[in-house]
């Protein structure tokens, strides 16, 4: 399954940021930054590394550097029947911080030992359940927002120290992802194409729009992308869409037509054809196989 490698753009004065997600819409993705996620609304499934777990408002997770993750909302996974009302969307607040904030030899420095131990665990994904923790972390996030420069880093360290002291902790994946586990590096304009496709895979994507976005001739862009990525732009788009569809088929109650639409297809026939080409079974066969196992 294709994985979006996001680039987090921090303010020029810091390497750690507070990002609000009023809705979870990103496909499976990863980024160099570590992430503390506070789930503020809704329920759904959290995918971290090889693990899957339920989440609800009030939960807290720590996700390691370059660990693939995805949040699927129950409003998408379990569509309401006609006249049943709209299910609640999921939302969250994330603190994302760069590994560059810490010395390379953290494990050998006593002052950073607790940070090293916690960040090492985060490569599995960690969930924290202490009573009252969510409210404490919200207060720390507010202090983080009100701080700059060194004080902001101090607020981040205080958050990490509080998480390290939690009594009720679960690891979310059986596999620890290495911080060096990155997609092959690509340069402009190829990375601009990847970013555009990942952000618009649920919409109609045309070569003309892509070429205008990248400011290149369409034919030249196709040749350059194929040479660098070893696949065409629309092969890449199909892999992203079908990968998202696989998650929906495995964990939602959507029918095949709904999955097709949510994955960017207006034609169910075309969706099934592309699904069979990439997965070598129909969507219904894939769902039956996943659920039987």
Q: What is the pLDDT along the chain (293 residues), one digit of tens a residue?
A: 567 778 787 876 789 999 999 988 888 888 999 999 999 999 999 999 878 899 999 999 999 998 989 998 887 777 665 444 455 789 999 999 999 999 988 888 999 989 999 999 999 999 999 999 999 999 999 999 999 889 999 999 999 999 999 999 999 987 777 654 443 343 467 777 877 887 788 889 999 999 998 888 999 899 888 877 778 899 888 988 988 888 889 888 889 999 999 999 999 999 999 999 988 899 999 999 888 87
Q: Which domain holds residue 202?
A: 190-292
Whether 181 maps to a domain, the answer reads no
Whether 177 maps to a domain, the answer reads no
Residues 108 and 233 in one domain: no
Residues 211 and 149 in one domain: no
Residues 23 and 92 in one domain: yes
Domain edge (last residue) among 118, 138, 171: 171
- What CATH number is associated with residue 206? 1.10.10.60
Residues 120 and 208 in one domain: no
Could you tell me the pTM of the whole model? 0.67
Whether 142 maps to a domain, the answer reads yes
Residues 134 and 246 in one domain: no
Neighbours of 83 (CB within 10 A): 5
Residues 102 and 130 in one domain: yes
- What CATH number is associated with residue 71? 2.60.120.10
pLDDT at 7: 78
Quote the CA–CA distance of 99 and 104 in Å, as a whole number: 9
Whether 162 maps to a domain, the answer reads yes
Residues 224 and 79 in one domain: no
Residues 93 and 53 in one domain: yes
Residues 120 and 223 in one domain: no
Residue linked to tokens 């120290």: 161
Residues 6 or more apart in contact with residue 184 via CB below 8 angstroms? none
Residues 25 and 158 in one domain: yes
Residues 162 and 272 in one domain: no
Domain edge (last residue) among 171, 198, 214: 171
Helix, strand, or coil (residue 30):
strand
Whether 268 maps to a domain, the answer reads yes
- Edge-to-edge strands of the sheet including 4-5? 4-5, 29-30, 69-73, 43-48, 51-56
pLDDT at 282: 94
Whether 184 maps to a domain, the answer reads no
Residues 112 and 166 in one domain: yes
Quote the CA–CA distance of 239 and 228 in Å, as a whole number: 17
What's the number of domains the chain is made of? 2
Domain edge (last residue) among 114, 144, 171: 171
Whether 179 maps to a domain, the answer reads no
Whether 270 maps to a domain, the answer reads yes
Dihedral sign from CA coordinates of 180, 182, 184, 189: negative
Q: Which of 234, 240, 230 is nearest to 199 (CA)?
A: 240
């Amino acid at each position: 399954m294709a994985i979006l490698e996001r680039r987090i753009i921090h303010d020029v004065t810091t390497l750690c940021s507070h990002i609000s997600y009023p809705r979870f819409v990103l496909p499976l993705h990863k980024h160099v930054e570590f992430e503390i996620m506070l789930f503020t609304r809704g329920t759904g499934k959290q995918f971290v590394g090889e693990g899957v777990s339920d989440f609800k408002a009030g939960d807290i997770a720590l996700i390691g550097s370059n660990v693939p993750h995805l949040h699927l909302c129950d409003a998408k996974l379990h569509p309401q029947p006609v006249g049943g009302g709209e299910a609640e969307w999921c939302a969250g607040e994330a603190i994302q911080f760069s590994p560059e904030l810490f010395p390379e030899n953290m494990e050998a420095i006593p002052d950073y030992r607790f940070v090293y131990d916690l960040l090492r665990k985060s490569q599995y994904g960690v969930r924290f359940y202490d009573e009252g923790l969510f409210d404490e972390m919200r207060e720390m996030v507010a202090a983080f927002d009100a701080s700059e420069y060194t004080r902001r880093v101090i607020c981040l360290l205080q958050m990490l120290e509080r998480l390290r002291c939690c009594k009720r902790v679960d690891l979310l994946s059986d596999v620890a992802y290495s911080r060096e586990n990155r997609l092959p590096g690509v340069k402009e304009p190829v990375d601009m194409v990847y970013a555009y496709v990942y952000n618009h895979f649920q919409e109609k994507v045309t070569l003309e729009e892509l070429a205008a976005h990248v400011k290149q001739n369409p034919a030249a862009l196709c040749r350059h992308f194929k040479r660098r990525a070893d696949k065409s732009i629309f092969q890449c788009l199909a892999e992203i869409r079908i990968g998202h569809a696989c998650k929906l088929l495995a964990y939602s109650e959507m029918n095949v037509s709904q999955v097709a639409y949510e994955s960017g297809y207006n034609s169910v026939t075309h969706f099934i054809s592309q699904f069979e080409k990439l997965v070598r079974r129909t969507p219904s066969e894939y769902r039956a196989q996943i659920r039987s196992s």
